[in-house]
Structure 1
Amino acid sequence: MAEEPRSKAERKADVLAKLSAPVADAWVATADGDEPHLVPLTIAWFGERVLLATDTGSPTGRNLAAHGRVRVALGGTRDVVMIDAVLERTIPVAESGPAGEAYAAQNDWDPRTAGDSYAFLVLRPERVQAWREVNELAGRTLMRDGVWLV
């Protein structure tokens, strides 16, 4: 039997805990025309933004540079966080400053050591949804148009 649905405030707190957890792994989906691309990546939460680190020549890097849209998913099928975001900027690892420091502090890998082809992709969330069971589908949208609804 499913637990009672969480309030929006509880869901937001759970989302922020997942985003800022050590070594936060996520599924990252981009597309190039009709060709979808899905890859597991480790993310960081920095200044209300999702940070990805990837080779700019990878499908994720190329798709984001060309189209600027991404979907990031965290959690299992019974504790979902879904984030639709836009690429705000790309920061070469050598110029990453506080963003690079924050990413390395949250994760078990420092992309600043991976070479000049790597960059941090700064994603601005536009929509955030979170739910566990069917009883949380209503009210699952916690952010719309980049504004928290909580």
Structure 2
Amino acid sequence: MTNPQVAPGPRTREQRLADTLAMLDSPVRDVWVATASNAPDGTPVPYLVPLSLAWIDDRLVLALDATSRTGRNLLATGTARLSLGATRDVVMIDAVLERSARVAEAPADLAEGYAAQADWDPRPGGADDVYLVLRPQRVQAWREVDEIAGRVLMRDGEWV
């Protein structure tokens, strides 16, 4: 079955980048966030959760409870993998934690930017809520198998 909203044939790199940035800039964007920790025996324990996302100054911003499993994992390892879109129009982002800020103490531009794009304001929330600002390191985007080649749009934090 084909998706009638998707043009036939692979997109150019420029179109993929434009589509990716439009997806990141769109309001009320949800994202799947994958993190990992180690069990007491050293076995890796992956964890996946949906969260609201804001794209502010070329950074991914999440708001969550620092004591949640995702918060603990991200603060401990400093890495996450995020996925936007559907399986036939996906953007995969490997990111590193650049900084965190307690929601109650965050700069106004961060808090207001997040609330505006995510359509959710965590400021009335709990004392452990934080903004996690992630710097993308690798970005991949593809729709179908014909876009697998050339799917890397960012490598080592630089658009390619």
Same topology, TM > 0.5: yes
Give the CA deviation at 1:4: 1.4
Larger Rg: 2
Equivalent position of 2:155 in the other structure: 144
- Report the residue type matching 2:34 in the other structure: A
Give the CA deviation at 1:116: 1.9
Helix, strand or coil for the counterpart of 2:86? coil
- Report the residue type matching 2:157 in the other structure: G
Give the TM-score taking structure 2 as reference length. Answer: 0.90
| Structure 1 CA distance for aligned equivalents of residues 117 and 53 of structure 2 | 9
Q: Does 1:74 align with 2:84?
A: yes
| Structure 1 CA distance for aligned equivalents of residues 118 and 36 of structure 2 | 26
Helix, strand or coil for the counterpart of 1:44? strand
| Structure 2 CA distance for aligned equivalents of residues 143 and 56 of structure 1 | 28
| Structure 2 CA distance for aligned equivalents of residues 86 and 132 of structure 1 | 25
Helix, strand or coil for the counterpart of 2:33? strand
Listed as ranges, the matches of 1:1-150 within 5 Å are: 3-33=8-38, 34-96=44-106, 97-149=108-160
Q: Deviations over 1:46-93 (max 9, x none)?
A: 000000000000001000111011000000000010000000010111
**Identity fraction in percent:** 60
- Report the residue type matching 2:153 in the other structure: L
- Report the residue type matching 2:97 in the other structure: L
Aligned alpha-carbon RMSD (Å): 1.0
Give the CA deviation at 1:108: 2.1
Give the CA deviation at 1:115: 2.2
Give the TM-score taking structure 1 as reference length. Answer: 0.96
